């Protein structure tokens, strides 16, 4: 039997060669990691939920004219995407303080920020993805000045879209991370949203209760991660209200 070619395996996803040139198949694993993979576990059903949630956000972005790599979902765990040249930066947008900015600058988690703050982290696991400035990005050639302007514009559009969608279902978008890729349309280069948008890469707090509905549930041992992601999917209508849980029932003895 022919075996498809694995192009890349990361912490939460695998990329396989796609059916046509310029495409890849993105497979969502159930693996959860945090703190640069020092904490790890397998969360039953997480990959299925993130495949659906990333599809939901990327489809919405495509529909409002924000280009993404998403083409179509193939099955429960896989989606067809455009192959891109990933810019080696994590682009983080923050609306409220939480996580590393709270620690670094001593701001209480949940404090509203005066305006959305866009940050860049250099993607390098050995260095622990350090925060970098535009000066570093341009001096080291990771992206050009034009790319930086385009990335900020893209990230802010993604922020407005996801903030609005989540607000509609009673969830506050605290912050998120995206990755951006380069594609070539004939002689023209374009930047598009790549990787994934899911509760693995966002902070999502219930507006009324402040309950965490994102990967902090795993990072901080706050409960069952798949239940939190299922709640996000249900509210967004990605899973029907009465759908059976994707996770296996816990056996009670
Ligand atoms: N984030 C991510 N991958 C990373 C680092 C951060 O998806 O490797 C997301 C994280 O889930 C949060 C946002 O980016 O939504 C900001 O993360 P922060 O800098 O506060 O880092 P953390 O506290 O997660 O270490």
**How remote is the CA of residue 38 from the centroid of ligand 1, in Å?**
15
Residue 88, ligand 1, Cβ within 6 A: no
Q: How many CB atoms lie within 10 A of CB 125?
A: 10
Alpha-carbon torsion (62, 63, 66, 67), positive or negative? positive
Q: Strand 89-96 to strand 31-34: parallel, antiparallel, or no bridges (unpaired)?
A: unpaired
User: Longest Cα pair distance anywhere in the chain, in angstroms?
Assistant: 63
- Ranges of beta strands (E only) in 3-153 are 6-9, 13-17, 23-28, 31-34, 39-42, 70-73, 78-82, 85-86, 89-96, 112-122, 131-132
Model pLDDT, residue 3: 78
pLDDT tens, position by position, 95-146 = 999 999 999 999 999 999 999 999 999 999 999 999 999 999 999 999 999 9
The C-alpha angle 150, 72, 177, rounded to 5 degrees, equals: 40
Contact 121, 94 (CB under 8 A): no
The domains located in the chain, with CATH, are 6-84+225-245 (3.30.200.20), 86-206 (3.30.470.20)
Contact between residue 139 and residue 145 where contact means Cβ atoms under 8 Å apart: no
Burial bucket for residue 42 (CB in 10 Å: 0-12, 13-18, 19+) = exposed
For 182-218, the pLDDT digits (tens) are 999 889 999 999 999 999 999 999 999 999 999 999 9
In the predicted structure, residue 72 carries a pLDDT above the cut 50:
yes
**Nearest alpha carbon, ligand 1 atom 7:** 201
Nearest Cα neighbor of 83 from 10, 162, 17 is: 17
Q: Is 213's C-beta closer than 6 angstroms to any atom of ligand 1?
A: no
Which range has the worst mean pLDDT, 1-15, 25-39, 55-69, 127-141?
A: 1-15
Candidates 100, 109, 111: which one to mutate for ligand 1, based on the most atoms within 8 Å of Cβ?
Answer: 100
């Amino acid at each position: 039997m022919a075996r498809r070619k694995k192009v890349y395996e990361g912490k939460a996803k695998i990329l396989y060669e796609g059916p046509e040139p310029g495409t890849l198949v993105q497979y969502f694993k159930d693996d959860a990691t945090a703190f640069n993979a020092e904490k790890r576990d397998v969360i039953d059903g997480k990959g299925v939920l993130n495949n659906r949630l990333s599809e939901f956000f990327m489809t919405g972005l495509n529909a409002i004219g924000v280009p993404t790599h998403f083409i179509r979902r193939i099955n429960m765990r896989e989606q067809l995407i455009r192959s891109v040249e990933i810019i080696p930066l994590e682009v983080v947008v923050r609306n409220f303080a939480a996580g590393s900015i709270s620690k670094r600058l001593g701001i209480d988690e949940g404090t509203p920020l005066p305006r959305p703050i866009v940050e860049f982290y250099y993607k390098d696991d050995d260095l622990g993805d350090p925060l970098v400035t535009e000066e570093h990005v341009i001096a080291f050639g990771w992206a050009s000045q034009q790319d930086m302007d385009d990335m900020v514009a893209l990230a802010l559009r993604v922020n407005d879209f996801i903030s609005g969608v989540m607000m509609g279902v009673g969830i506050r978008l605290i912050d998120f991370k995206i990755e951006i890729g380069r594609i070539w349309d004939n002689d023209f280069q374009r930047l598009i949203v790549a990787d994934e948008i899911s509760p693995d890469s966002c902070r999502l707090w219930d507006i009324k209760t402040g309950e965490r509905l994102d990967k902090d549930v795993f990072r901080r041992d706050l409960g069952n991660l798949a239940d939190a992601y299922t709640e996000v999917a249900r509210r967004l209508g990605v899973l029907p209200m009465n759908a059976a849980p994707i996770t296996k029932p816990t056996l009670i003895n």
